[in-house]
A = this chain, B = another copy of it.
Amino acid sequence: MRIGDLAARAGVSVRSVRYYEEQGLLVSVRSPSGQRHYTEQEVERVTFIQRLYTAGLSSRTIAELLPCVDTPSLENSDAAMDRMSEERDRLSAHIDDLIRTRDALDHLMSVASAHRTTLTAK
């Protein structure tokens, strides 16, 4: 699979795929002419990378976590596990914050809606 296909199937831009490789999040097999080739596996990997980006992780952080995905066993885990746990907690805190924000919006909307009801009732 070439880069265009991978990008399309993962739902990202070709530019992004190259960027991921530049950041050490992805490796590619090069054809003699220098073109990148990928396997089915990489589709899932790219979507997972995107998922982490969307969760607010930086390239550097993702780079620290991915070895834990690649090699779900060895001793590299030590620091990576801590990092993973740390990011999990940060994510949880962020989720809670977002939920509070959503509640605030809901409250605003209900107040506005009540006002409207009052007005139309008059």
Contact = CB atoms under 8 A, between A and B. Distances in A.
Interface of A: 48, 51-52, 54-55, 68-69, 72-73, 77, 81, 84-85, 87-88, 91-92, 94-95, 97-102, 104-106, 108-109, 111-113, 115-116, 119
Contact of A101 (B54, B73, B113): B54
B101 A91 contact: yes
B102 A85 contact: no
Counted per complex, copies of this chain come to 2
B109 A84 contact: yes
A54 B97 contact: yes
Contacts of A73: 112, 115-116, 119
A109 B65 CA distance: 11
